[in-house]
Amino acid sequence: MDLGPDTFMTAEIRNNWTLESLRELHDTPLLELVFRAAAVHRRFHDPAEMQVSKLISIKTGACPEDCSYCAQSSRYSTGISPERLMEKEKVVEIAQRARDAGVSRVCLGAAWREVKDNAQFDRVLEMVRGVTDLGMEVCCTLGMLNEQQAKRLEEAGLYAYNHNVDSSAEFYETIITTRTYADRLKTLGEVRKTNVTLCSGGIIGLGETVDDRLKMLQTLARIEPHPESVPINILSKVAGTPMAENPDVPVWDVVRMIATARIVLPRSDVRLTAGRITLDDTAQALCFLAGANSIFSSETEFMLTKAVPSPSYDRDRELLSALGLRLREPFKHGRTHPAQEARGTATTCLADPCAVAG
């Protein structure tokens, strides 16, 4: 297969990547790979923009799942104390501070296995409405859900739903036993029946092989249309979990994964998410050049729980300013995925975008 430079200058949206072609792409000499990824990025995105998101743990701890990397699993002693579902007013207050700091998307995360049709879900819907009313994109990660629940979230104004596939189907079975890979894909399919955009990616550093990473990208590329957002997480090693002593991920592996994801999923936002704090400014800049155009930031030193550290708003503002990157406004990409726009069923958000603090 010819993967020369001209291939990427005229990149097409593809759903038929083979493992062999992905491996050939991934193993391209690193600087050449970054160059090609940067060319794709410039074709599909504004290279001077960065989306900044904020993650809020609206319900922390006591998750019944056994994900081997997770601090919130009830199966492990990680020092995370279970907390009840937050009140809407507190969530909106945190979101408003984030908006004032230049954040355009808020992700609401609950340590649930699945969404249940109860009073707690009703409260989450109210949170979605409240943060959307601030003029911000709202993403939720609540575990598995069905089509009706996805539609209720859509009606509340949800912009995106996050449900990561984590790794390859084969490796997934070695790190999680309380749900299947098919369960993950089913939830993604339920979200695709709505106008809610899709956010799905994975984690590197779990002990997976390079082929596992590429099979994950292959899985995402087979989704039609591709997920609008693709998080690339670096394992945050948490004491008490089975992966607490995993080796660190080499920085070049991170850059290579970002660049490969950008070429394979050219229209998607590639999110450099958990574990970013392990990268120095130069490494982050190289990831941005390779196509990462979204990051998570926080007003505290933690992203989700006290087990997952995160750069602060102030630190990220300094970095983005030094690189000449401006903050992306919310709803710039509309509310629908490309296939729905092509069918003429787009439902454009009419909320005024908030002023982005510099």
User: Token pair for residue 322?
Assistant: 């030094």
> Token pair of 162, please?
């996050």
Closest CA to 351 of 51, 28, 40, 99: 99
CA distances from 307 to 70, 166, 317 (A): 9, 19, 23
Which of 252, 196, 185, 190 is CA-nearest to residue 219?
A: 185
For the annotated catalytic residues, the residue numbers are 63, 67, 70, 107, 139, 199, 271
Q: State how far the Cα of 144 lies from the Cα of 287, in Å rounded to an integer.
A: 31
Q: Decide: 307 and 67 in contact? Cβ < 8 Å.
A: no
Asked if 327 and 294 touch (Cβ cutoff 8 Å), the reply is: no
Q: Is 186 in contact with 176 (CB distance < 8 Å)?
A: no
Cβ contacts of residue 94 below 8 Å, gap of 6+?
54, 56, 299
Q: Which of 44, 61, 58, 57 is nearest to 8 (CA)?
A: 44
What is the Cα–Cα distance from 257 to 25, expressed in whole angstroms? 11
